[in-house]
Amino acid sequence: MNKIGNHTAISEVSTLLVLRHSSNSIGIVQGIENNGNLIDVPPNRNNIDSVMRIDSAEDSFTDFYSDFYHQLKDPSEYSFFKVREFEAHDTAIDLQEYIDCLSEVERQDLKAVEVSIEAVESVRNKMNANCEPSVLKKGFNNGSVTKNSSSQYRYQIEDVPWEKMDELGLDMEKLESLGTLDALLKGYKTPMLIPILFNNGEAVSQIDARLQLRIDDDGELIVKVHRVCKKVDFRKKFKGHKFTKEDRNNLLNSGNMGRVVDLIDTVTGEIIPSLISLDRLTNELISLRMEFVRIPDFLCGMRLDLEQKQVLRNGKPLFIENMLSKKGKLFSATVQFNTERQWLEFSFENKFRSSCFSEANHYQREVPSHFRGVKLRQWQMDKLKAGEVAYINGLESRKGKTYQGYISFDKSIGRIVFSFKNPKKK
């Protein structure tokens, strides 16, 4: 088993694998029937286009999964695993082969990699507790939205343009059953593609799209429909910007272009320094003015210095070690600003992948300015850039003990490698 995704959300397209305990079989989730029975398909290349596609960002995924889980007739019959969509087929086959060889005792190890509803709802509740109060509250027991004074919704349910929703073939009950109403009321895009009715003036057809509630120029709340594009044509300019090969690779690999570019307002002709990201569900390019790019002073217990904040503000990926999770555990991740989320997103190492580094790390080849929470001196960075070994002290272990050693920069993985002994000496 070498491809099961990390459960912490990454802003990319994901899907769910399911282990049916009764048959000991692995499938790829498609959805849920009205009676609460799960719909899944075997890992077959012909089925891959029909599987569920989910936004992996933490707030989107936790909202989706909590609603999804509680709609199941008997959720204890299943174990779910979150994986990247393009890996779903191969991962399902690998996981099936792995499970077929497990003993009953070894099967318990799977709990460490499956999506835990307890962990998801704990994260979700903490998010809700940290947000400003509003007029709505999510009822987790039945998926309904009711009036209350302790939640974090941007829009009121009675202000939703339900006539427009009706034209799209949707109502409140349908949105609740899909687990998307919560995200809409918060001002987010729906965390997954949903089927809607589309009228092109000649005929009505059904298409998949993401929806979002937005305030238009007249101050009215409207439903923004984000249709799925087959693929991005990088040969065409985007608001005056011509994509380089590196721009294209970055957007396709991580969803973020990784640099500031000047875009041209198509109406006013104004030149606007901006960042660009890719919506992995719809293949839609999303730009954001630099004036709206906000980088926090603290991130998961780590204070960001001016150099780190500038790297992130410039849209570049930054590897940060020894951050503190909500559970009080230290973790490391590559951090990058995403324009769709308008916030920082995390890319994590996948412990089941042979490569030992995430896609976002793959294209970062610059020597980082920090290692394990310690700011590197210029002479240390110069040595690393030259391919030499540098001595470092003042590092602190998880138990609070200081230690020292030698570091070098491995360009093949874009990471600093640590050793207690000088690797240049025999």
pLDDT tens digits along 377-421: 888 888 888 888 999 988 877 667 788 888 888 776 567 888 888
Least confident of 107-116, 275-284, 288-297, 331-340: 107-116
pTM equals: 0.51
Tally of domains within the chain: 4
Segments of 52-193 assigned E as strands:
54-55, 78-84, 136-139, 144-147
* Residues 22, 112 share a domain: yes
- Which residues span the domain enclosing 253? 245-292
Do residue 405 and residue 341 come from a single domain?
Answer: yes
Asked if residue 152 and residue 45 are part of one domain, the reply reads no
Neighbours of 85 (CB within 10 A): 20
> What CA–CA distance (Å, rounded) separates 404 from 391?
8
> Looking at the structure, do residues 266 and 314 belong to the same domain, yes or no?
no
Q: 251 and 218 share a domain? A: no
Span 154-171, average pLDDT: 90
- Look at residue 232 and tell me if it is in a domain: no
User: Is residue 85 in a domain?
Assistant: yes
Residues 180/192, Cβ–Cβ less than 8 Å: yes
Question: At 87, is the pLDDT very low, low, confident or very high (cuts 50, 70, 90)?
Answer: confident
Closest CA to 256 of 337, 372, 365, 159: 337
**321 and 375: one domain?**
yes
pLDDT digits (tens, 9 = 90+) for 246-264: 999 999 888 899 999 999 9
Same domain flag for 302 and 413: yes
Dist CA 225 CA 235 (whole Å) = 25
Same domain membership, residue 413 and residue 310: yes
Name the DSSP letter for residue 192.
B
Residue 171 within any structural domain of the chain: yes
Which domain-ending residue is among 54, 85, 119?
119
Amino acid (1-letter code) at residue 345: E
Is residue 103 a part of any domain in this protein? Answer: yes
In a domain, 235, yes or no: no
In this structure, is residue 395 part of a structural domain? yes
Indicate the range of 159-168, 315-324, 355-364, 391-400 predicted with least confidence.
Answer: 355-364
Same domain? 115 vs 156: no
**Residue 276 is assigned to a structural domain of this protein:** yes
Tokens coding 88: 């779903």
Q: Find out whether 255 and 276 touch, Cβ atoms under 8 Å.
A: no
Q: Are residues 307 and 411 in the same domain?
A: yes
pLDDT (tens digit per residue) in 208-247 = 889 999 887 777 889 999 988 888 889 999 999 999 999 9
Query: How high does pLDDT run on average in the chain?
Result: 78
Instruction: For residue 361, name the pLDDT band (cuts at 50, 70, 90).
Output: very low
Two tokens at 43?
């890992």
Give the lowest-confidence range in 80-94, 244-258, 291-305, 349-363.
349-363
Residue 146 — pLDDT band, cuts 50, 70, 90?
Answer: very low
Which of the pair, 70 or 57, is modelled with greater confidence?
Answer: 70
Render 354-376 in DSSP notation, one character per residue: TT-S-HHHHT--SPPSEETTEEP
Residue in the block written with tokens 């009080």: 328
Q: Tell me how far CA of residue 65 lies from CA of 50, 88, 118, 120, 139, in angstroms.
A: 18, 17, 11, 8, 14
C-alpha distances in angstroms, 299 versus 113, 177, 312? 25, 34, 12
